[in-house]
Structure 1
Amino acid sequence: MSTSLYERLGGTYGIAGAVDVLVDRLFANAAVNANPAVHAHHGDPTNAPGYKFLVTAWSIQATGGPACYPGLDMGAAHRDLAIASHDFDAVVTEIDATLNFLGVPDAERREFMDLIEGYRAEVVATPTPA
């Protein structure tokens, strides 16, 4: 029986530790915050603890851990942010760099990055036809 990605990432504590680092990096990342709607959220440091909680819970659940994410689905959560493909790419780059920085093994890092990429269609805003 194979172990879940959740277990291979260190369970709740491993994921929470990684998210703690990641969110600090995302909030400081100029490319991620170039989107004004994202910057409005990230520009308020009081949002960081709640964001860390939601990203941790989402990551736990998405990687095969217990169902604990109380937030909106990815489409609804990002609907009003006008996320462009390059905005999504900036976040993907930061997630990958953070996982690499933290020493997450390549197989687990790639598996998590594939999981993130699977949400691109839900997160990236589609242009409204004229």
Structure 2
Amino acid sequence: MENEKEFRYVLVGNIIDKHFFGDKKEIKSGTKHFRAGAKVYLFPEYGGIAHEKIPVYGLPKKSFRRITIVISSNLIKNTRVKKTYDPILIDKIDRTFFYSDQGNDGLENLNRFAETFIKNNIELK
């Protein structure tokens, strides 16, 4: 099957809509960099307790170039596993220890991580 495009599995999430922000508990939509509902690709490189901060890659509000930044994991919802055919994203995945460490059970491990990530975010809120 030489004609089949190369793909990788990647963790995907969406930025939450309304959430409390700051000492005054203002209600904000999205984050400083991403609009509410924006699709972001997760690169859980940092450990920590329940991945409190996580690097994400996505399209910001005020630009047409994707960026990689670290945001609080409780600003991400709807975590799931998807296929990607994007060569830039595939290159980032191949250079990331988290994805290279998945082994033969890669898809199963990613699905398990996504379920655990969702469960931990619900408990933290």
- Higher Rg of the two aligned structures: 2
The question of a shared fold, defined as TM-score above 0.5 by the shorter chain, is answered with no
Higher percent of residues as strand? 2
Q: TM-score, normalised by structure 2?
A: 0.32
Q: TM-score, normalised by structure 1?
A: 0.31
The one of the two structures with greater contact order (alpha-carbon pairs below 8 A, sep at least 6) is 1
